[in-house]
Amino acid sequence: MKRKYLFLSIIFLFVLPGYVFAKPVKIQIVPRKIFPGDAFLIKIKNLRNKNTPVALINKKEFAFVEFGKGCYIAIGAIDINARPGKYKIKIKSGNSNFKSNLLVKRKIFPSVSLNLPDEKVFPSDDDLKRIQDENIKMNEVSGLITEKKWEGNFIFPLENEISTLFGVKRIMNEQWTSIHKGLDFKGKEGEEVKASNNGKVVLTEELFYGGNTIVIDHGLGIYSIYMHLSRIKVKSGDEIKKGEIIGNVGSTGRATGPHLHFGIKLNGINVNPDSLIKLNI
Protein backbone atom coordinates (compact mmCIF):
# COMPACT_ATOMS: atom_id res chain seq x y z
CA MET A 1 0.00 0.00 0.00
CA LYS A 2 2.84 2.38 0.88
CA ARG A 3 4.43 1.72 -2.49
CA LYS A 4 1.14 2.64 -4.19
CA TYR A 5 0.97 5.99 -2.39
CA LEU A 6 4.65 6.62 -3.17
CA PHE A 7 4.01 5.92 -6.87
CA LEU A 8 1.03 8.31 -6.94
CA SER A 9 3.08 11.00 -5.18
CA ILE A 10 5.80 10.73 -7.83
CA ILE A 11 3.19 11.13 -10.60
CA PHE A 12 1.79 14.22 -8.88
CA LEU A 13 5.20 15.81 -8.46
CA PHE A 14 6.60 15.19 -11.92
CA VAL A 15 3.66 14.87 -14.30
CA LEU A 16 0.71 16.85 -13.02
CA PRO A 17 2.49 20.20 -12.37
CA GLY A 18 2.77 20.77 -16.13
CA TYR A 19 -1.01 20.84 -16.29
CA VAL A 20 -2.03 22.04 -12.82
CA PHE A 21 0.37 24.99 -12.76
CA ALA A 22 0.34 25.86 -16.49
CA LYS A 23 0.13 29.61 -17.02
CA PRO A 24 -3.17 30.80 -18.51
CA VAL A 25 -3.24 32.17 -22.04
CA LYS A 26 -2.81 35.95 -21.92
CA ILE A 27 -4.13 38.25 -24.67
CA GLN A 28 -3.05 41.89 -24.79
CA ILE A 29 -4.34 44.60 -27.15
CA VAL A 30 -2.03 47.63 -27.57
CA PRO A 31 -3.39 50.25 -27.58
CA ARG A 32 -6.85 49.12 -26.49
CA LYS A 33 -8.42 52.44 -27.50
CA ILE A 34 -7.86 53.69 -31.06
CA PHE A 35 -9.31 56.02 -33.70
CA PRO A 36 -10.77 54.95 -37.08
CA GLY A 37 -7.93 54.08 -39.47
CA ASP A 38 -5.46 53.16 -36.72
CA ALA A 39 -3.27 50.08 -36.38
CA PHE A 40 -2.84 48.12 -33.15
CA LEU A 41 -1.03 45.07 -31.76
CA ILE A 42 -2.49 41.76 -30.60
CA LYS A 43 -0.10 39.88 -28.31
CA ILE A 44 -0.63 36.30 -27.14
CA LYS A 45 1.42 34.61 -24.41
CA ASN A 46 1.43 31.08 -22.98
CA LEU A 47 -0.32 29.47 -25.94
CA ARG A 48 0.35 25.73 -25.46
CA ASN A 49 -0.86 24.26 -28.76
CA LYS A 50 1.29 24.44 -31.90
CA ASN A 51 -1.34 25.98 -34.18
CA THR A 52 -0.52 29.51 -35.33
CA PRO A 53 -3.52 31.65 -34.31
CA VAL A 54 -5.67 33.85 -36.55
CA ALA A 55 -7.60 36.95 -35.44
CA LEU A 56 -10.93 38.09 -36.85
CA ILE A 57 -11.90 41.74 -36.39
CA ASN A 58 -14.81 43.41 -38.14
CA LYS A 59 -14.90 40.60 -40.77
CA LYS A 60 -11.16 40.95 -41.50
CA GLU A 61 -8.57 38.26 -40.76
CA PHE A 62 -5.13 39.15 -39.41
CA ALA A 63 -2.17 36.77 -39.33
CA PHE A 64 0.08 36.12 -36.35
CA VAL A 65 3.80 35.44 -36.29
CA GLU A 66 5.61 33.56 -33.52
CA PHE A 67 7.92 35.48 -31.18
CA GLY A 68 9.30 32.84 -28.85
CA LYS A 69 7.72 29.69 -27.43
CA GLY A 70 3.99 30.12 -26.98
CA CYS A 71 4.17 33.83 -27.85
CA TYR A 72 2.58 35.37 -30.95
CA ILE A 73 2.00 38.85 -32.32
CA ALA A 74 -0.30 40.27 -35.00
CA ILE A 75 -0.76 43.79 -36.36
CA GLY A 76 -4.43 44.64 -36.85
CA ALA A 77 -6.27 47.70 -38.12
CA ILE A 78 -9.73 49.27 -38.28
CA ASP A 79 -11.05 51.02 -41.40
CA ILE A 80 -11.32 54.81 -41.39
CA ASN A 81 -15.07 54.48 -41.96
CA ALA A 82 -15.58 52.29 -38.88
CA ARG A 83 -18.19 53.60 -36.47
CA PRO A 84 -17.11 54.40 -32.91
CA GLY A 85 -17.83 51.71 -30.35
CA LYS A 86 -16.61 48.41 -28.95
CA TYR A 87 -15.40 45.76 -31.41
CA LYS A 88 -14.97 42.07 -30.64
CA ILE A 89 -11.69 40.37 -31.49
CA LYS A 90 -12.07 36.64 -32.05
CA ILE A 91 -8.91 34.53 -31.98
CA LYS A 92 -8.74 30.91 -33.11
CA SER A 93 -5.84 28.50 -32.65
CA GLY A 94 -6.63 24.91 -33.55
CA ASN A 95 -9.62 23.92 -31.42
CA SER A 96 -9.03 26.77 -28.97
CA ASN A 97 -11.00 30.01 -29.17
CA PHE A 98 -10.39 33.28 -27.36
CA LYS A 99 -12.02 36.70 -27.28
CA SER A 100 -10.98 40.26 -26.51
CA ASN A 101 -12.28 43.78 -27.12
CA LEU A 102 -11.11 46.93 -28.88
CA LEU A 103 -12.61 50.38 -28.39
CA VAL A 104 -12.79 52.70 -31.42
CA LYS A 105 -13.16 56.32 -30.35
CA ARG A 106 -15.00 59.02 -32.25
CA LYS A 107 -12.86 61.41 -34.30
CA ILE A 108 -13.81 64.35 -36.48
CA PHE A 109 -11.28 64.64 -39.31
CA PRO A 110 -10.49 68.18 -40.54
CA SER A 111 -11.16 69.58 -44.04
CA VAL A 112 -8.80 71.47 -46.35
CA SER A 113 -9.41 73.41 -49.56
CA LEU A 114 -7.04 73.11 -52.52
CA ASN A 115 -6.88 74.72 -55.95
CA LEU A 116 -5.46 72.64 -58.79
CA PRO A 117 -5.67 72.68 -62.60
CA ASP A 118 -9.08 71.40 -63.66
CA GLU A 119 -7.58 68.45 -65.54
CA LYS A 120 -6.16 67.17 -62.24
CA VAL A 121 -9.51 67.45 -60.47
CA PHE A 122 -11.93 66.53 -63.27
CA PRO A 123 -10.24 63.78 -65.33
CA SER A 124 -11.23 63.09 -68.94
CA ASP A 125 -12.91 59.81 -69.89
CA ASP A 126 -9.55 58.40 -70.97
CA ASP A 127 -7.97 59.47 -67.69
CA LEU A 128 -10.86 57.96 -65.72
CA LYS A 129 -10.24 54.63 -67.45
CA ARG A 130 -6.54 54.89 -66.62
CA ILE A 131 -7.33 55.71 -62.97
CA GLN A 132 -9.67 52.73 -62.74
CA ASP A 133 -7.05 50.38 -64.17
CA GLU A 134 -4.41 51.76 -61.80
CA ASN A 135 -6.71 51.28 -58.79
CA ILE A 136 -7.31 47.68 -59.78
CA LYS A 137 -3.58 47.06 -60.10
CA MET A 138 -2.83 48.72 -56.76
CA ASN A 139 -5.44 46.54 -55.04
CA GLU A 140 -3.98 43.44 -56.68
CA VAL A 141 -0.35 44.09 -55.70
CA SER A 142 -1.28 45.08 -52.11
CA GLY A 143 -3.86 42.37 -51.55
CA LEU A 144 -1.61 39.37 -50.95
CA ILE A 145 -0.65 37.98 -47.54
CA THR A 146 3.00 36.92 -47.75
CA GLU A 147 5.53 35.76 -45.17
CA LYS A 148 6.84 38.27 -42.61
CA LYS A 149 9.64 40.48 -43.95
CA TRP A 150 9.57 43.45 -41.55
CA GLU A 151 11.95 43.58 -38.58
CA GLY A 152 11.27 45.72 -35.53
CA ASN A 153 9.54 49.09 -35.55
CA PHE A 154 8.55 50.86 -38.77
CA ILE A 155 10.12 54.27 -39.45
CA PHE A 156 9.07 57.41 -41.31
CA PRO A 157 10.59 57.72 -44.80
CA LEU A 158 11.37 61.38 -44.11
CA GLU A 159 12.06 63.22 -40.87
CA ASN A 160 10.42 66.41 -42.12
CA GLU A 161 7.30 68.21 -40.96
CA ILE A 162 3.95 66.67 -41.91
CA SER A 163 1.87 69.00 -44.08
CA THR A 164 -1.34 66.96 -44.48
CA LEU A 165 -2.60 64.46 -41.92
CA PHE A 166 -4.33 61.14 -42.45
CA GLY A 167 -8.11 61.35 -42.83
CA VAL A 168 -8.28 64.98 -43.98
CA LYS A 169 -11.27 65.69 -46.23
CA ARG A 170 -9.95 67.48 -49.28
CA ILE A 171 -12.11 70.00 -51.13
CA MET A 172 -10.55 70.66 -54.53
CA ASN A 173 -11.64 73.58 -56.67
CA GLU A 174 -14.60 74.08 -54.33
CA GLN A 175 -15.80 70.49 -54.78
CA TRP A 176 -15.31 67.67 -52.26
CA THR A 177 -13.33 64.92 -53.92
CA SER A 178 -11.55 62.59 -51.52
CA ILE A 179 -10.30 61.62 -48.08
CA HIS A 180 -6.54 61.72 -47.59
CA LYS A 181 -5.43 58.14 -46.93
CA GLY A 182 -1.84 58.76 -45.92
CA LEU A 183 0.56 61.40 -44.61
CA ASP A 184 2.10 64.19 -46.69
CA PHE A 185 5.62 65.23 -45.72
CA LYS A 186 7.14 68.55 -46.71
CA GLY A 187 10.28 68.10 -48.73
CA LYS A 188 12.71 69.67 -51.16
CA GLU A 189 12.96 68.46 -54.73
CA GLY A 190 15.44 65.57 -54.82
CA GLU A 191 15.49 64.92 -51.07
CA GLU A 192 16.17 61.26 -50.31
CA VAL A 193 13.31 58.94 -49.30
CA LYS A 194 13.94 55.87 -47.10
CA ALA A 195 12.14 52.51 -46.89
CA SER A 196 9.98 52.25 -43.78
CA ASN A 197 11.04 48.66 -43.07
CA ASN A 198 12.48 45.53 -44.67
CA GLY A 199 10.47 44.24 -47.60
CA LYS A 200 10.18 43.49 -51.30
CA VAL A 201 9.35 46.06 -53.98
CA VAL A 202 6.17 45.00 -55.79
CA LEU A 203 5.41 48.11 -57.86
CA THR A 204 7.37 51.00 -59.42
CA GLU A 205 5.20 52.98 -61.82
CA GLU A 206 4.06 56.45 -62.84
CA LEU A 207 0.41 56.83 -61.78
CA PHE A 208 -2.15 59.50 -62.68
CA TYR A 209 -2.69 60.74 -59.13
CA GLY A 210 0.41 59.44 -57.36
CA GLY A 211 2.97 60.23 -60.02
CA ASN A 212 6.14 58.17 -59.63
CA THR A 213 5.11 55.56 -57.08
CA ILE A 214 6.77 52.74 -55.12
CA VAL A 215 4.96 49.98 -53.22
CA ILE A 216 6.84 47.70 -50.80
CA ASP A 217 5.50 44.43 -49.41
CA HIS A 218 6.58 43.98 -45.76
CA GLY A 219 4.73 40.70 -45.25
CA LEU A 220 1.65 39.65 -43.25
CA GLY A 221 -0.51 41.97 -45.38
CA ILE A 222 1.47 45.19 -44.67
CA TYR A 223 2.40 47.41 -47.63
CA SER A 224 4.01 50.87 -47.66
CA ILE A 225 3.36 53.36 -50.48
CA TYR A 226 5.54 56.30 -51.60
CA MET A 227 4.13 58.81 -54.12
CA HIS A 228 5.02 61.95 -56.14
CA LEU A 229 8.68 60.96 -56.38
CA SER A 230 10.99 62.78 -58.78
CA ARG A 231 13.10 59.64 -59.14
CA ILE A 232 12.69 55.94 -58.40
CA LYS A 233 15.91 54.18 -57.39
CA VAL A 234 14.60 50.62 -57.06
CA LYS A 235 12.79 48.15 -59.32
CA SER A 236 10.05 45.61 -58.82
CA GLY A 237 11.41 42.45 -57.20
CA ASP A 238 14.19 44.19 -55.25
CA GLU A 239 14.70 43.12 -51.63
CA ILE A 240 14.85 46.26 -49.49
CA LYS A 241 16.28 46.96 -46.02
CA LYS A 242 14.82 49.39 -43.49
CA GLY A 243 16.27 52.89 -44.04
CA GLU A 244 17.55 52.11 -47.55
CA ILE A 245 17.23 55.00 -50.04
CA ILE A 246 14.52 54.09 -52.56
CA GLY A 247 13.80 57.39 -54.31
CA ASN A 248 13.70 61.18 -54.19
CA VAL A 249 11.05 63.74 -53.27
CA GLY A 250 9.25 65.29 -56.24
CA SER A 251 5.96 66.75 -57.46
CA THR A 252 4.85 64.21 -60.07
CA GLY A 253 1.19 63.27 -60.43
CA ARG A 254 -1.49 65.39 -58.75
CA ALA A 255 0.65 67.67 -56.62
CA THR A 256 0.93 71.39 -55.94
CA GLY A 257 4.65 71.21 -55.15
CA PRO A 258 7.46 68.93 -53.95
CA HIS A 259 6.36 66.61 -51.13
CA LEU A 260 6.09 62.92 -50.25
CA HIS A 261 2.82 61.07 -49.84
CA PHE A 262 3.40 58.12 -47.51
CA GLY A 263 0.67 55.50 -47.15
CA ILE A 264 0.19 52.15 -45.43
CA LYS A 265 -2.16 49.34 -46.41
CA LEU A 266 -2.89 46.44 -44.07
CA ASN A 267 -5.09 43.64 -45.42
CA GLY A 268 -6.54 46.15 -47.87
CA ILE A 269 -7.26 48.73 -45.15
CA ASN A 270 -5.78 52.21 -45.53
CA VAL A 271 -4.02 52.77 -42.21
CA ASN A 272 -2.81 55.95 -40.54
CA PRO A 273 1.00 55.54 -40.90
CA ASP A 274 1.57 57.44 -37.66
CA SER A 275 -0.33 54.76 -35.70
CA LEU A 276 1.86 52.00 -37.19
CA ILE A 277 5.10 53.89 -36.53
CA LYS A 278 4.11 54.30 -32.86
CA LEU A 279 3.71 50.55 -32.31
CA ASN A 280 6.58 49.00 -30.36
CA ILE A 281 6.93 45.72 -32.24
Q: What is the residue-averaged pLDDT of the chain?
A: 91
- Domain count for the chain: 2
Angle at 269 between CA 138 and CA 173, to 5 degrees: 70
Q: Is residue 17 predicted with pLDDT exceeding 80?
A: no
28 and 94 together in one domain: yes
Q: Closest Cα to residue 86, out of 39, 34, 27? A: 34
Quote the pLDDT of residue 2: 53
Position 110 in a domain: no
Compute the average pLDDT of residues 167-193: 90
- 136 lies in the same domain as 232: yes
Positive/negative CA dihedral, 140, 145, 146, 150: positive
Over residues 161-184, mean pLDDT? 89
Residue type (1 letter), 87: Y
pLDDT in tens, 194-220: 999 999 999 999 999 999 999 999 999
pLDDT at residue number 113: 85
CA–CA gap between residue 199 and residue 151 (Å, rounded)? 9
What is the average per-residue pLDDT within 138-148? 94
What is the DSSP track for 136-160?
HHHHHHTS--------S----S--S
Domain that holds residue 31: 2-104
Give first-to-last CA distance, the chain, whole Å: 56
Residues 240 and 146 placed together within one structural domain of the fold? yes
| CATH number for position 79 | 2.60.40.1590
Q: Are residues 263 and 132 in the same domain?
A: yes
Domain-located, residue 58: yes
In a domain, 176, yes or no: no
Q: What does the pLDDT read at residue 12?
A: 47
How does pLDDT run across 78-131, given as a tens digit for each residue? 999 999 999 999 999 999 999 999 999 999 999 988 787 777 778 899 999 999
Residues 138 and 225 occupy one common structural domain? yes
Q: What does the pLDDT average to over 42-68?
A: 92
Measure the CA–CA gap between 99 and 137, rounded to whole angstroms. 35
165 vs 270: CA distance, rounded Å:
13
Identify whether 177 is part of a domain.
no
* Max CA separation in the chain (angstroms): 96
Question: Sorting pLDDT into bands at 50, 70 and 90, what band is 136?
Answer: very high
In this structure, of 43-57, 162-176, 264-278, the range with the lowest mean pLDDT score is: 162-176
For residues 232 and 128, membership in a common domain is answered with yes
In this structure, are 148 and 203 located in the same domain?
A: yes
Inter-residue contact 265 to 220 (CB < 8 Å): no
Burial 121-160 (b: 16+ CB within 10 A, else e): eebeeeeeeeeeebeeebeebbeeebeebbeeebebbbee
Residues 43, 129: one domain?
A: no
CATH code, 193: 2.70.70.10
Is residue 99 in a domain? Answer: yes
In a domain, 169, yes or no: no
Name the pLDDT band for 175 (thresholds 50, 70, 90): confident
Classify residue 175: in a domain, yes or no.
no
Question: Are 149 and 267 in the same domain?
Answer: yes
Q: Is residue 111 domain-resident?
A: no
Is the pLDDT at 6 greater than 80, yes or no? no
Mean pLDDT of 152-181: 91
Q: How far is the C-alpha of 90 from the C-alpha of 101, rounded, in Å? A: 9
- In this structure, the answer to whether residues 100 and 209 fall within a common structural domain is no
pLDDT score, position 19 = 46
Please report the pLDDT score of residue 18 as a whole number. 47
Q: Are residues 189 and 94 in the same domain?
A: no
User: What pLDDT band is residue 178 in, cutting at 50, 70 and 90?
Assistant: confident
Residue 234 and residue 139 in one domain = yes
